[in-house]
């Protein structure tokens, strides 16, 4: 299982939100590149970079941060937040991201997203699914749809998507442990999927549990910044 540290960006700074609430913002570092280099020095090879300003504005904003980290580290970066138009996808790839991370547009505008998959290649996208009680949630998690997570995943696997991460919105940023049962069900239904857990990871045991159920990766954010998982823990081979 691959550990994927997360860096969330507001105003060019490394922050974390609780349950997607911009009013519950905590700044951890003024310089995201420093954080990214710490991860790289710890032996990690991948980075989940989220443009929270972009997510709010509906267009990519912090591409300069992406460009800097991509130029000055060898991390494989997936970048998301505000990718709504083709020009956003192009900016993300031109700025050095290996993968474009998308979520809401895959829910709201299937035709556009499928067009991107065909134009840029399905292997270039990381699909994120926010879930509440097994239904897809959008709009900063304020709106729950009637789309069943399993139907959503199956549809986009059929369109060629290879990597999907799933966040249980009731868990994110709370350090209460990941949604093991949900993830077990997803992996059982789609055993060939490169499935990445996200949200709720609070300690090393959570990572071991996710590995045990067959997750291909785990995105870890707040637990690192709060010292629940140390860079030394991140060096262990899982």
Active-site choice (51, 78, 130, 172): 130
Tokens of 128: 């994120």
Amino acid 141: pLDDT: 56
Token look-up 């045991």 returns 205
The confidence score (pLDDT) of residue 139 equals 65
Is residue 8 flagged as an active site residue?
yes
Which pLDDT score is estimated for 230?
A: 87
CA distance 41 to 45: 9
Active-site residue, selected from the candidate residues 8, 88, 172, 209:
8
Tell me which residue has tokens 């998507």: 161
Q: How many domains does the chain have?
A: 1
DSSP letter (8 states) at residue 122: G
Write down the pTM of the prediction. 0.93
Q: Is 78 a catalytic residue?
A: no
Query: What residue numbers bound the domain in which 166 lies?
Result: 2-234
Instruction: Convert the pLDDT of each residue in 158-217 to its tens digit.
Output: 999 999 999 988 776 677 789 999 999 999 999 999 999 998 899 999 999 999 999 999
Residue ranges in the chain modelled with pLDDT below 50: none
Domain with residue 77: its CATH number is 3.20.20.70
3-state DSSP helix/strand/coil % of the chain, to nearest 5 = 40, 30, 30
Contact (CB, 8 A) for 113 and 106: yes
Token pair, residue 48, equals 């989940």
Report the residue count for the chain.
238
């Amino acid at each position: 299982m691959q550990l994927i540290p997360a860096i969330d960006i507001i105003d060019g700074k490394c922050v974390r939100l609780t349950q997607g609430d911009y009013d519950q913002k905590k700044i951890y570092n003024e310089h995201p590149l420093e954080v990214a280099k710490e991860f790289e020095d710890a032996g990690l090879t991948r980075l989940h970079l989220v443009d929270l300003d972009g997510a709010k504005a509906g267009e990519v904003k912090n591409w300069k941060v992406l460009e800097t980290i991509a130029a000055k580290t060898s991390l494989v970066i997936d970048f998301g937040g505000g990718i709504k138009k083709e020009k956003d996808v192009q900016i993300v790839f031109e700025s050095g991201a290996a993968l474009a991370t998308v979520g809401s547009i895959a829910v709201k505008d299937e035709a556009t997203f499928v067009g991107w998959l065909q134009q840029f290649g399905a292997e270039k996208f990381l699909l994120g699914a926010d879930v509440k009680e097994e239904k897809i949630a959008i709009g900063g998690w304020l709106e729950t749809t009637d789309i069943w997570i399993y139907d959503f995943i199956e549809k986009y696997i059929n369109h060629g998507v290879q990597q999907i991460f799933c966040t249980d919105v009731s868990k994110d940023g709370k350090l209460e442990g990941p949604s093991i049962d949900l993830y077990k069900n997803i992996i059982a239904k789609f055993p060939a999927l490169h499935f990445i857990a996200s949200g709720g990871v609070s300690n090393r045991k959570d990572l071991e549990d996710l590995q045990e159920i067959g997750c291909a990766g785990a995105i870890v954010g707040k637990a690192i910044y709060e010292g629940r998982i140390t860079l030394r823990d991140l060096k262990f081979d899982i």
